[in-house]
Amino acid sequence: MNELGIPTAHAAGRESGRATRAREVADSLTRAIHEHRLGPGMKLSEDEVGEIFGVSRTIVRAALQQLAHDQLVTIEPHRGAFVAQPSVREAREVFEARALLEPRTARSAAERATPEDIAILRRHITQEHAALHAGQDGAALRLSGLFHIEIARIADQATIAEFIGQLVSRSSLVIALYWRRRNALCESHAHDALLKALADRDGALAEDLMKGHLLDLLSSLDLREAPGQRRSLKEALGRA
């Protein structure tokens, strides 16, 4: 079992006697998707997931419904849950939404960032670089997303931060499907520059950098008509 490459949840389960284990399962699955261990289109059978995490289908169902709400998985009635495969259109929309939310949020963050905040961000970037050099592409991608979410948190806008979190998650799927270039280094440098602007409390610069960063990201995608490159013909037609 555990062919999905998901860490058996024993360790995570110990972290707290929290009432709902559904959240734990959902978080593990979310993380697996962020790190591209679970790719778009993969089936998430309730029994299988339940066996891996040692919980009953009740819990798994709740977790999957959460992920479905975040649009990370698609639930097809009587067929099951699948890791979502954002269409080209959805991909664009995600980045358009991010372009609407994140630049202004970065400005707010720059105006409010404390030295501790900066230190946390710096640590994020360091870890991201380390993961990248270690060849752990998935981990680097997840950390890269966390950087954006952390900025939203610093801006002290929990509601917007939550939206950005959802968008970052979906971006991870978009990247899995439509990523073109293989070198993710441009990202890291963008984050370096953003960190500097935040440390300097330069809100206007941070806003501009974020806007540019998102445009870079978008332009590094291949959003032509291919709804999925390695998707099977059957699914492609069933979805077209």
Partner DNA sequence: GATGCGCAGATTGTATACGATCCTGTGTCC
Partner DNA sequence: GGACACAGGATCGTATACAATCTGCGCATC
Residues that bind a copy of itself (CB under 8 A): 18-20, 61-62, 65-66, 69, 77-78, 90, 93-94, 96-97, 100-101, 104, 157-160, 163, 167
Q: Shortest approach of DNA to residue 58 CB, angstroms? A: 4
Q: Shortest approach of DNA to residue 148 CB, angstroms? A: 31
* Strands 80-83 vs 43-44: parallel, antiparallel or unpaired: antiparallel
Which one of a copy of itself, DNA, none interacts with residue 240, CB within 5 to 8 A by kind? none
Residue 45, beta-bridge partner list = none
Helix (H, G, I), strand (E, B) or coil at 77: coil
Nearer to DNA, 77 or 135 (CB): 77
Residue 221, beta-bridge partner list = 179
Two tokens at 211?
């806007």
Quick one: CA dihedral 62, 35, 131, 154, positive or negative? negative
> Candidates 30-38, 58-66, 135-143, 201-209 — which segment interacts with DNA by CB under 7 A?
58-66
Which residue matches tokens 């280094």? Answer: 185
> Candidates 55-63, 66-74, 129-137, 201-209 — which segment interacts with DNA by CB under 7 A?
55-63
Which one of DNA, a copy of itself, none interacts with residue 66, CB within 5 to 8 A by kind? a copy of itself
- The span from the CA of 152 to the CA of 149, in Å, is 5
Q: Shortest approach of a copy of itself to residue 116 CB, angstroms? A: 21
Of 128, 210, 141, the closest CA to residue 171 belongs to: 141
Which one of a copy of itself, DNA, none interacts with residue 177, CB within 5 to 8 A by kind? none
Of 232, 223, 235, 234, the closest CA to residue 87 belongs to: 223
Of 41, 29, 99, the closest CA to residue 74 belongs to: 41
User: Residue 13, interface with DNA (CB under 7 A)?
Assistant: no
User: Residue 201, interface with DNA (CB under 7 A)?
Assistant: no
User: Residue 17, interface with DNA (CB under 7 A)?
Assistant: yes
Of 133, 114, 136, 110, the closest CA to residue 196 belongs to: 110
Contact between residue 219 and residue 126 where contact means Cβ atoms under 8 Å apart: no
The residue from 77, 116, 225, 229 that contacts DNA (CB under 7 A) is 77
Task: Print the binding letters for residues 145-184 with DNA: x by CB under 7 A, - otherwise.
Answer: ----------------------------------------
Q: Shortest approach of DNA to residue 22 CB, angstroms? A: 6
User: Residue 231, interface with DNA (CB under 7 A)?
Assistant: no
